């Protein structure tokens, strides 16, 4: 049983004093945050990610639309039309074309040029490429048919000076993929890219990091709040058991997937 289940059972199935519930909640929080130490020093260089794409070691790629995105797409767009949606570390996610097909525009950032070219080619989308003078060595790929623009560069070289701020962000496989030591820098970047009405869907994982070194990395709910809580209101939309044989092969014995909705605080 994980910590959240322990707390839930104590609060629902037993008449437990409030002080005891508070103690359990604090214990759960400390345990989850302490578990971060197992991966704190883990570092993946950009070249390692490019190597994975070159060798087709891309088990993180999903050959279908993400089910939690489909289920929560109304939370992402909230009835708005023509929203510009940002995909950090986008890979060749099919989610991008699906969002564009809904009538929105898409901007993504990805280090692997191979991933970007495969996205356009596998979706049979014509595209053009251009250099990005402000980022040495970077390129931008633009669809000729859909409103999809993908930057091939280091994520931390990207800023709102290129495409403005975004009305939506879909973060599947980005926060959980960056080096744990870079999370504060990452959060600052994402917040800087959020328009006032931005709705940011963030997908995170819970598992025992002592059994799997990652990536994807453990991101406890408590850390989501510590990273974004000063600037954003945060709502946990879903918490689902996503454990499969793939995760069993990692050596873990459970995996919980959490979907968060972040919006900028009005003040």
Q: In this predicted model, what pLDDT tens digit does every residue of 161-198 receive, in sequence order? A: 999 999 999 999 999 999 999 999 999 999 999 999 99
In a domain, 180, yes or no: yes
DSSP code at position 205: E
Label residue 43 exposed, middle or buried (CB < 10 Å: 0-12, 13-18, 19+). exposed
pLDDT of residue 26: 45
The answer to whether position 56 is within a domain reads no
257 is a domain residue: yes
Considering the domain architecture, whether residues 146 and 179 belong to the same structural domain is answered as no
Domain-terminating residue out of 164, 191, 222:
164
pLDDT at 187: 98
Q: Does some domain include residue 24?
A: no
Residues 199 and 86: beta-carbon distance below 8 Å: no
Which residues on neighbouring strands pair with residue 152, listed in sequence order? 110, 139
Query: For 66, what's the count of Cα atoms within 13 Å in the CB-facing half-sphere?
Result: 23
Do residues 203 and 259 touch, judged by C-beta distance below 8 A?
Answer: yes
Domain assignment of residue 151, given as a range: 84-164
Query: Are 156 and 110 contained in the same domain?
Result: yes
Same-domain status, 155 and 186: no
From 120, 139, 164, the end of a domain falls on: 164
Measured distance CA(202)–CA(104) in Å, rounded: 19
pTM of the predicted structure, to 2 decimals: 0.87
- Which CATH number fits the domain that encloses residue 255? 3.40.50.150
Q: How many domains does the chain have?
A: 2
Report pLDDT digits (tens) over 239-259.
999 999 999 999 999 999 999
Dist. CA 32–CA 21, nearest whole Å: 17
Query: Are residues 150 and 93 located together in one domain of the fold?
Result: yes
Quote the mean pLDDT of the chain: 89
């Amino acid at each position: 049983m994980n910590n959240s289940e322990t707390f839930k059972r104590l609060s629902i199935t037993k008449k437990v004093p409030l002080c005891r519930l508070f103690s359990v909640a604090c214990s759960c929080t400390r345990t989850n945050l302490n578990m971060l130490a197992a991966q704190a020093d883990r570092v993946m260089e950009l070249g390692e990610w490019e190597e994975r794409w070159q060798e087709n070691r891309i088990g993180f790629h999903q050959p279908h639309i993400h089910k939690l995105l489909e289920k929560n797409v109304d939370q992402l767009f909230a009835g708005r039309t023509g929203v510009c949606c940002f995909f950090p570390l986008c890979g060749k996610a099919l989610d991008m074309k699906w969002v564009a097909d809904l009538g929105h525009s898409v901007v993504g950032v990805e280090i692997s040029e191979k991933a970007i070219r495969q996205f356009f080619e596998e979706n049979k989308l014509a595209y053009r490429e251009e250099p990005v003078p402000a980022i040495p060595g970077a390129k931008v790929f633009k669809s000729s048919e859909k409103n999809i623009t993908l930057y091939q560069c280091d994520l931390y070289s990207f800023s709102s000076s290129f495409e403005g701020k975004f009305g939506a962000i879909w973060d599947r496989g980005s926060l959980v993929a960056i080096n744990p030591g870079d999370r504060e820098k990452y959060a600052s970047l994402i917040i800087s890219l959020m328009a006032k009405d931005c709705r940011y869907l963030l997908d995170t994982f819970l598992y025992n990091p002592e059994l799997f070194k990652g990536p994807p990395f453990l991101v406890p709910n408590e850390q989501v709040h510590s990273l974004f809580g000063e600037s954003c209101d945060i709502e946990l939309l879903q918490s689902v058991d996503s454990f499969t044989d793939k995760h069993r092969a990692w050596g873990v014995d459970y995996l919980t997937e959490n979907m968060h909705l972040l919006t900028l605080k009005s003040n």
